Structure 1
Amino acid sequence: MKLIIVSGRSGSGKSTALHVLEDLGYYCIDNLPIGLLFPLTREATVKESTARLKRIAVSIDARNLSDEIANFEDIHHQLRQTGATIETIFLDATDQALLQRFHATRRKHPLSNDRTSLKEAIDSEKHLLEPIASLADLFVDTTELSIYELRDMVKQRVIGRREQELALLIQSFGFKHGVPVDSDYVFDVRCLPNPYWDTSLRKFTGIDQPVVDFLENEPATLKMVEDLTHFLERWLPSFGESNRSYMTISVGCTGGQHRSVYICEQLGKFFAERYNNVQVRHTELPHLKHVDS
């Protein structure tokens, strides 16, 4: 029996993620009280022959009692002892993005009231859900994701992986836009020669052949790719052996257009031959945000 717990701050995309899982055959429950997680899992494990209960997804958020959220670690430990496969996905976004989403939809935040503003409620919710966030197997920052991109992310990272298999996301980014908060590893490749300073290359990206040729003519680039692949090849299996299900590897350059894109493409090709679930994402290139490897 497999149980996926979907949590995160209000407005981060939990409902979208749960709908995707429902479409993919999971028995889904929205806003399940945390205290019922253990009885539900135990019942489903006992009745494992019932196909409908072999895969369950539940959404848990700030509508739960604060005391139950605070005790989530104990419940989580009990769940793992049932023999069921448990995965926790935590979705979040920046405070500003959440504010904009609530203003756009005119929905009421579950923690806001006459004495608590929307901004205060969003901030309070972050602290309230920390016990769940700290135990998440997968953290997804939905700030820059559309509904459709979030759906693809859930399908590719959660459903696309086999049991006990490490799912990899390799993403490029620009340091001037900030480091992705969902990163497990962050590598800085700003030390490499920058194609941006060649005005004939500025309009291209790290996927385009003129930039590829420029970078591959630099010994430092090839050495960087070699060192990163060797490092990750050496240490990624250790994460899998420690029951880690997901890893997000972020590679950054100044603007996220050239060097980091090229490096991620090379890493994606290398690890796609070694892992079944590898996704390459270019955060600063909207038309190339999701590239399957």
Structure 2
Amino acid sequence: MNRIVIVTGMAGAGRTTALKVLEDLGLEAVDNLPIGLLRKLVQTVDPLETDLAIGIDPRSRTFDVEALITRLERLRGSGVAEIRLLFLDCDDEVLRRRFSETRRRHPLAFDRSLEDGIAHERQILARVREMADHIIDTSALTAADLKRVISGHFDAAEGQRLAIHVMSFSFRNGLPREADLVFDVRFLRNPHYDRDLRPMTGLDQPVQEYVADDLDFASFMERLVNLLLPLLPRYRAEGKSYLTIAVGCTGGKHRSVFVAESLSAQLREAGWVVGAHHRDIPRTGATIEQLRAIEGQP
């Protein structure tokens, strides 16, 4: 059965980037489709060859929430394809900054302020968001992060197995919104208070040895892995294709990084597909905001 991914969400949240990622995954992308053409396009899809990614958002003059919801419900009930709705969301403050930095006009702010345009769009899309199969909040994601998350949900090569992503983070910078499971490792001894270790990270061997010397580290890791290993097959059996495990400490630089790396390694040894990244270690690469500016899209 063909897959039809409907991509929508807040302007400036990365919808164009999401469509490009889906295109890279082998889906045929169609952007800014008038809602009235949705059913006709789906009916013309070759049932043996084509998966579609369709971008729909309030920029279109024919956009109508009730019509979109009705057509989605009918398509899902018809069985002509596997219909999945992806909603891209983002904090209002981050959206304001993105539009200000790129000097792009919000599509619903022609006769009102930017703040009112964002609020109006959020109100319009509230019911669509409730219907979404996948909601991705891009507020703190880089372009690479967004690609990783979308690939985890929609990469056909990963579709028959559970892709696991382990991330470290700083509690000071807030919980990662994409996390399915969160573990707090602030009880472990903190390398921050060692002057020699403070500039290092949990990727450096002296920090790893320092944290591993904590009397509770080995038993904690053993119990954490023993907790997770029976759960992972159950997640997969329930149809979950992507699981994010977040490990946090105060600064997101030492303890959480080492625990995330250790957990990733042990899950891989158990035969699972695992990736890892460290949110609050300074990163390189384009942010979503920078990518928006490069693409010239809101």
For the structure 1 residues 111 and 194, does the alpha-carbon distance in structure 2 shift closer, same or farther, using more than 3 Å as the test?
A: same
Per-residue CA deviation, residues 215-268 of structure 1 (Å, 9 max, x unaligned), is 111132222222222222222322222222222222111111111111111222
What is the aligned counterpart of 1:89 among 65, 74, 86?
86
Contact 2:152–2:242 (Cα < 8 Å) also in 1:
no
Sequence identity of aligned pairs in percent?
37
Q: CA deviation at 1:130?
A: 3.2
The aligned residue for residue 14 of structure 2 is 13
Q: 1:282 aligned to 2:278?
A: yes
1:127–1:5 Cα change, 3 Å? same
Cα distance in 2 for residues equivalent to 1:173 and 1:279: 15
Tell whether 2:63 aligns with 1:67. no
Match of 2:5, SS state, is strand
In the alignment, structure 1 segments of 5+ residues that lack a partner are: none
Are the aligned partners of 2:22 and 2:154 in contact in 1 as well (CA < 8 Å)?
no
Provide the secondary structure at the position in 2 that maps to 1:212: helix
Letter in 2 for 1:25: G
The alignment partner of 2:266 has SS state of: helix
After alignment, is 156-165 or 116-125 more displaced?
156-165
1:142-157 correspondence runs (5 A): 142-151=138-147, 153-155=149-151
Which secondary structure state, in structure 2, belongs to the residue aligned with residue 192 of structure 1? coil
Task: Say how many residue pairs are matched.
Answer: 281
Cα separation, 2, equivalents of 1:9 and 1:16: 13
Report the secondary structure of 1:234's partner residue: helix
Q: Which position in structure 2 is the counterpart of 1:182?
A: 178
User: Out of 192, 208, 221, which is 2:188 matched to?
Assistant: 192
Does residue 217 in structure 1 map to residue 217 in structure 2? no
Please report the RMSD computed on the Cα atoms of aligned residues, expressed in angstroms: 2.8
Deviation, 1:152, is 5.2
Distance 1:238 1:24, change over 3 A: closer
Cα separation, 2, equivalents of 1:263 and 1:161: 28
- Please name the residue that 2:223 is paired with: 227
What SS does the aligned partner of 1:96 have? helix
